[in-house]
Amino acid sequence: MEDSGATFDEVLRVDTQPGWAIELSRESTPVRRVRASLAGIEIGGIRTIPHDEIVSAFLSLRIEHRVIVRARRARLIIHTRSRHEAERLLRALAFTTTEKNAVFQVLPVVGTSYVPALLLPLWGVFGVARITPHVNYPLILLSALWVIAVFALTRFKRSLTVGGDGITINGHFEKRFVSYANVIGVDRYSDQKRGFLLPRRGTPPLYSGLALHLRGDEHLKLPMARGNHQTDQMFGASERITEALRAWRKSGPIVNATIGRAGRNTQEWIASLRELGKSDATTYRVAAVDREALFAIVEDPVNQASSRAAAAIAIGAKLDEESRARLRKSAETIADPKLRVAIEHVVDEKDEAFAELLDELAPPETKARS
């Protein structure tokens, strides 16, 4: 990526977690010159992490003002001197809530707190095997498969993606998007649940994390640490969700009937959107819409996903490099996987996938009846 000119350049204390993307010398001093921009992060004049390799960058308020930069296989902890300095660093990396999604790790559904309960049947199998030697081999094989299954369940990782429009929980067996329209608030929690085992009075918490309070009296718990630990990720994710939710509530939806379905079937709707995007002046067939108004619909996370996708399709009818880059940047702030894919298809000009995506994104009451 090109350097936009908004460059952070300060001498700060940096802790590193070595990985394949880290090329710092072990003999270097803890205090180094940190240069952050859209090209990535340089520490001591060395290109440490390219921007494309950065998964998330967030501010942790747990100890001092630390910026945590997570790459795919490496991590930096940059100790800034103030919150303002930390926010300036994040802006230089384009990792604010309005510029790019942030990804955080969530514990698997089956964690260490559930393992003892899941292993109870295994202990019973071993007891039966000792009493009945003639069935030892099948039971031992069954026990081995059970142990492998339990171990696999404890290793399945989950992630939490915080975007400008909502959050997405990704896992091997689940993918759930929660719009900010359904989020009341977020706070931290500690839980003593033991799966099938009841907690004893005075038992310390088994895991801690974030609790999303949703409309309909639903509470979505996201464990992020074992025990009662307050981790950087927990503080960073909480702060990020709070900021994104606050920004989402400040803006209002943009209503534009021109890009609506208006009772048309999907192919007619797409054709009208493309004609709208190509039109430079009002004609008897279609009223012209300013491209900035279309971009405003795409970029505002408060708007419905179907409206944002429709506006993107209209823009894609006349796609230059500037429009392509602007749509790609908008996609980087979207947590809704279907909407993000729809806008990426516009950028990549994959027209054949528009119909199915629009049918999935459009609310049932706006779909045309066949």
pLDDT in tens, 64-99: 788 888 887 778 888 898 888 988 998 898 888 778
At 83, list the tokens.
């919150």
Is the model more confident about 132 or about 2?
Answer: 132
Q: Which pLDDT score, from 0 to 100, does residue 347 have? A: 92
Distance between CA atoms of 69 and 112, rounded to whole angstroms? 27
Of all residues in the chain, the percent with pLDDT exceeding 70 is 71
More confident residue, 272 or 108: 272
Alpha-carbon distance of 173 to 149, in angstroms, equals: 14
Global model pTM greater than 0.75: no
Taking a C-beta distance cutoff of 8 angstroms, is the pair 355, 309 a contact?
no
Helix, strand or coil, per DSSP, at residue 281? coil
Report how far residue 271's alpha carbon sits from residue 15's, in angstroms, rounded to the nearest whole number: 54
Contact 323, 277 (CB under 8 A): no
pLDDT given at position 147: 66
Rounded Cα distance between 282 and 276, Å, is 10
Residue 326 is predicted with a pLDDT of: 92
What size, in residues, is the chain? Answer: 370
Tens of pLDDT along 209-223?
Answer: 899 999 988 889 888
Output the 3-class SS for 46-63: EEEEEHHHEEEEEEECCC
Average pLDDT of 125-149? 63
pLDDT score of 367:
43
141-164 pLDDT per residue, tens: 666 676 666 666 666 778 899 998
Q: Which among 175, 172, 125 is positioned nearest to 152, based on CA atoms?
A: 172
- pLDDT higher at 309 or 283: 309
pLDDT (tens digit per residue) in 11-67: 888 887 654 334 444 444 478 889 999 888 998 888 788 888 888 888 876 677 888
User: What would the pLDDT profile of 327-336 be if each residue is shown by its tens digit?
Assistant: 998 998 999 9
Q: Phi and psi (nearest 5°) for 139?
A: -70, -35
Q: What is the pLDDT of residue 285?
A: 44
Give pLDDT, residue 232: 83
List pLDDT tens digits, range 162-191.
998 999 998 766 789 999 989 999 998 887
Q: How far apart are CA 223 and CA 178, in angstroms?
A: 17
**Of 3-7, 59-63, 183-187, 359-363, where does the model show the most confidence?**
183-187
Cα radius of gyration rounded to whole Å, the chain = 25
Per-residue pLDDT at 203: 55
Q: In this predicted structure, what is the pLDDT of residue 136?
A: 59
**123, pLDDT greater than 90:** no
Whole-number percent of the chain with pLDDT over 90: 16
Q: What pLDDT digit, counting tens, does each position of 234-293 carry? A: 888 998 999 899 888 887 777 676 788 877 888 888 888 888 888 654 443 444 567 888
